[in-house]
Amino acid sequence: MDKRIAFITGATSGIGEGCARKFAAGGYNLILTGRRENRLQALARELENKTEAAVLTLCFDVRDREEAVAAVGSLPPAWKEIDVLVNNAGLALGLEAEYEGDQDDWETMIDTNIKGLLTMTRLIVPGMVERNRGHVINIGSVAGDAAYAGGGVYCATKSAVKTLTDGLRIDLAPTSVRVTNVKPGLVQTNFSNVRFHGDDERAETVYRGIQPLTGDDIADVVFYAASAPAHVQIAEVLVLATHQASGSVIFRQ
């Protein structure tokens, strides 16, 4: 396969969907994963109609290690040499005080944001090391820099993403494989709808009074990191809306 291949998890919405469109337009072939088969197929058809990208879809949940192993193992030989892994699949659930939180929500966040990321890294990075080329781009968060009220567990998972990204970069220093942590601030996707278990009205208040980032904004940064010269490693990027100063400081008009 002549084109480079980007493997993007959580590609059915938000940042992952933005990354899929950006990498397809940028000359990559794509392996897109997600839990919603219909959304994956619709996106694949759209990208193949609008760009010259070939798109392969894998429908599975990164929380399920057996599903992930089977999905990656099913890749045809021409698709196994992955150049860019975008570990995007992630979520927040709930905004209760830590001592009142829902333990099922905690487990879902930990299993997706930490263990799912580790599973995909373990499955794909050895091939990059063997070929001595590749790039892992993890989608972290400004929330990984400091905790905020009601977000302790989510913030902890994104702090873990930062630490795991840094650790992987250290482990890969003898190789030519690059590692990047992109840390978005306020991005208007379905993130808040998921956090509030489908309460659209409550989710909308998160973005009231400020122009938030979009999934496409973050995709631009991800693609920029992947497009840097081979000797340049964009280790970490914090991306905030103009009127956001940190995870907890937002000026609303």
148 noted as active-site residue: no
pLDDT score, position 1: 64
- Give the torsion through C-alpha atoms of 7, 159, 213, 150, to 10 deg: 130
Distance of alpha carbon 53 from the chain centroid: 20
**In a domain? residue 244:** no
The CATH number of the domain holding residue 196 is 3.40.50.720
Whether 201 maps to a domain, the answer reads yes
What residues pair up with 8 in beta bridges, in sequence order?
A: 32, 86
User: Per the domain annotation, does 250 fall within a domain?
Assistant: no
Q: What is the mean pLDDT of residues 172-179?
A: 98
Task: Tell me the pLDDT band of 169, cut-offs 50, 70 and 90.
Answer: very high
Q: What is the pLDDT of residue 151?
A: 95
In a domain, 102, yes or no: yes
Tell whether 119 is covered by a domain. yes
Confirm whether 171 is domain-assigned: yes
Q: What is the mean pLDDT of residues 144-164?
A: 96
Q: Which of 28, 99, 148, 154 is catalytic?
A: 154
- Name the average pLDDT for the chain: 96
Fill in the amino acid letter for 33.
Answer: T
Tens digit of each residue's pLDDT (9 = 90 or more) over 221-231: 999 999 999 99
Q: What are the tens digits of pLDDT across the range 37-66?
A: 999 999 999 999 999 999 999 999 999 999
Query: What residue numbers bound the domain in which 205 lies?
Result: 5-239
pLDDT for 201 equals 86
* pLDDT band at 197; cut points 50, 70, 90: confident
Across 150-176, average pLDDT: 98
Nearest to 118 by CA among 59, 81, 68: 68
Give the per-residue pLDDT at 200.
82
CA distance 121 to 83: 13
Please, are residues 153 and 98 in contact by the beta-carbon 8 Å criterion? yes
Q: Say which residue the tokens 């291949």 belong to.
A: 5
**Token code pair at residue 22:** 């950006």
pLDDT at residue number 191: 81
Across residues 105-115, what is the average pLDDT? 97
In the chain, how many domains are there? 1
Mean pLDDT of 172-188: 97
Query: Which residue type, as a one-letter code, is found at position 135?
Result: H
The answer to whether residue 230 is domain-embedded is yes
| Residue 132 within a domain | yes
Q: Are 134 and 125 in contact (CB under 8 A)?
A: yes
Amino acid letter for position 84? V
